[in-house]
Amino acid sequence: KNEVEQSPQNLTAQEGEFITINCSYSVGISALHWLQQHPGGGIVSLFMLSSGKKKHGRLIATINIQEKHSSLHITASHPRDSAVYICAARESDKIIFGKGTRLHILP
């Protein structure tokens, strides 16, 4: 059974800080997704990764297939980055979500 674990569960930081959110999974996957969920429920897809690294603006996502681990980094964090960040692992015909990391950036 594939488990997806995220850390930390909650993170509060000051505006401008470099943020790292971690995701680990227990079995082989075909792709890993990072999602952002704002209060009210709407989810936005940030990245889909199967290897290496992707960058979009201030967001960077990396994945290490051998170590079964992915990280989401936010550079120069801003209060508007406050949200829940969820990783989701795709294993053949299943998608398994982590419980999310609640990020709060203080101005």
Partner 1 sequence: DAGVTQSPTHLIKTRGQQVTLRCSPKSGHDTVSWYQQALGQGPQFIFQYYEEEERQRGNFPDRFSGHQYPNYSSELNVNALLLGDSALYLCASSPGQLFEAEAFFGQGTRLTVV
Binding residues (CB under 8 A) for partner 1: these are 4, 30-31, 33, 35, 40-45, 48, 86, 88, 90, 93-100
**DSSP 8-state assignment for residue 40:** T
User: Judged by CB, which is closer to partner 1: 48, or 60?
Assistant: 48
Residue that has been written with the tokens 């936010």 in this structure? 74
CB of 96 to partner 1, least distance (A): 7
Q: Closest distance between partner 1 and the C-beta of residue 32, in Å? A: 10
Angle 48-100-30 from CA coordinates, rounded to 5° = 30
Minimum Å distance from CB 64 to partner 1? 20
- Residue number, 9 or 75, with CB nearest to partner 1: 9
Strand order across the beta sheet in which 52-56 lies: 4-7, 19-25, 69-74, 59-64, 52-56
Q: How far is the CB of 15 from partner 1 (least distance, A)?
A: 26
What is the CA 31 to chain-centroid distance, rounded?
A: 13
CB closer to partner 1 out of 14 and 45:
45
CA-to-CA dists, residue 27 to 24, 42, 68, 94, angstroms: 10, 28, 8, 12
Looking at the Cβ atoms of 33 and 68, the one nearer to partner 1 is 33
